[in-house]
């Protein structure tokens, strides 16, 4: 049995492999007599079905257009304990309307951990590259925040993650395997996931994850999960995988929790907890 592990969706050096597959026609698995006796089934699609699909496609395209400008690709570099340089990539989302006025990028702590502002590049959807002027991280929730100063930015609209229901459609955006501005579709599979062992670093104690089957892969970490109105309802953080890639089980920090953590970091420089 393959061991299922929960992996943080951050990617270092990645190689893309092209894989081809030869598909055998179904009829070749039957005898000639069976193939002759089989009656072809004519598939029809009504005009109403076509209209529904076309409408749904337009809605999803609209969500992607609305959300994409607030999604960023992050490259960070920091020294390892042995003294060598480590480079990591992840995703983030531009936000405003925080407890402290300004424009910020919310991401995961593990995407920018150990890096200084000069070692971080924030790549915008329009090709501009910024560096943060200040960063904050919270180990217990795996939330990272970066302050940016630039004109013409489009922050994401905040959603209310407490209103989500299991089965709600959601869209994940980010840079899986470094492929920026990627968009995937799924549903909320579960809520309130806890006691997950994330990666090999410090334990993430403040857990209340949303579970989704929207494809999340290494490099998606810190990117947004949005609802069908394009509003930010989660920060993509980790995957449960037996292969290292997407197996249809991803985890996101609810937007309400991420916003609360970020507000405390901006106001106090740390998160005040009872423990």
Catalytic residue among 110, 175, 213, 241: 110
φ and ψ of 213, to 5 deg: -100, 5
Task: Give the Cα separation of 244 and 22 in Å (integer).
Answer: 24
Is 172 exposed, middle or buried, given 0-12, 13-18 or 19+ CB atoms closer than 10 A?
A: buried
Cα torsion 167, 177, 247, 240: sign: negative
Of the residues 142, 161, 175, 213, which is catalytic? 142
| Separation between Cα atoms, residue 132 and residue 63, nearest integer Å | 27
**Tokens coding 139:** 């180990």
User: Scanning the structure block, which residue is given the tokens 């990645």?
Assistant: 14
Contact between 135 and 122 under an 8 Å Cβ cutoff? The reply is no
Active site residue 161: no
Helix (H) or strand (E) holding 187: strand 182-193
User: In this structure, what are the phi and psi dihedrals at residue 28, rounded to the nearest 5 degrees?
Assistant: -70, -10
Catalytic residue (one of 76, 175, 221, 241): 221
**How far, in Å, are 56, 84, 119, 166, 187 from residue 52 at the CA level?**
6, 54, 47, 22, 19
Q: Which residues contact 185 (CB under 8 A, 6 or more apart)?
A: 60, 169, 170, 171, 172, 214
Q: Check if 110 is active-site.
A: yes
**Phi, psi (deg, nearest 5) at residue 172:** -105, 135
221 is catalytic: yes
**Catalytic (active-site) positions:** 110, 142, 221
């Amino acid at each position: 049995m393959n061991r299922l592990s929960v992996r943080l969706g951050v990617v270092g050096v990645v190689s893309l492999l092209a894989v081809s597959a030869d598909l055998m026609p179904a009829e070749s698995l039957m005898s000639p007599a069976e193939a002759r006796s089989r009656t072809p089934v004519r598939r029809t699609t009504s005009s109403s079905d076509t209209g529904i699909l076309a409408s749904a496609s337009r809605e999803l395209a609209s969500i992607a257009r609305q959300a994409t400008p607030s999604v960023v690709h992050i490259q960070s570099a920091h020294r390892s304990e042995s003294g060598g340089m480590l480079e990591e990539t992840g995703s983030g989302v531009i936000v405003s309307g925080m407890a402290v006025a300004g424009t910020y990028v919310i991401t995961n702590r593990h995407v920018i951990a150990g890096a200084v502002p000069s070692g971080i590049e924030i790549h915008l959807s329009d090709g501009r590259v910024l560096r943060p002027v200040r960063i904050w991280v919270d180990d217990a929730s795996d939330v990272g925040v970066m302050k940016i100063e630039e004109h013409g930015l489009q922050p994401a609209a905040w959603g209310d993650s407490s209103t989500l229901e299991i089965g709600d459609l959601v869209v994940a955006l980010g840079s899986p395997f470094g492929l920026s501005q990627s968009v995937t579709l799924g549903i909320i599979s579960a809520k309130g996931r806890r006691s997950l062992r994330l990666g090999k670093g410090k334990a993430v104690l403040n857990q209340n994850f949303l579970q989704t089957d929207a494809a999340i892969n290494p490099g998606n970490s810190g990117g947004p999960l949005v609802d069908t109105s394009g509003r930010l309802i989660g920060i993509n953080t980790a995957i449960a995988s037996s292969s290292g890639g997407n197996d249809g089980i991803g985890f996101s920090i609810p937007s309400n929790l991420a916003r609360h953590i970020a507000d405390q970091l901006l106001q106090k420089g740390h998160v005040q907890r009872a423990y």
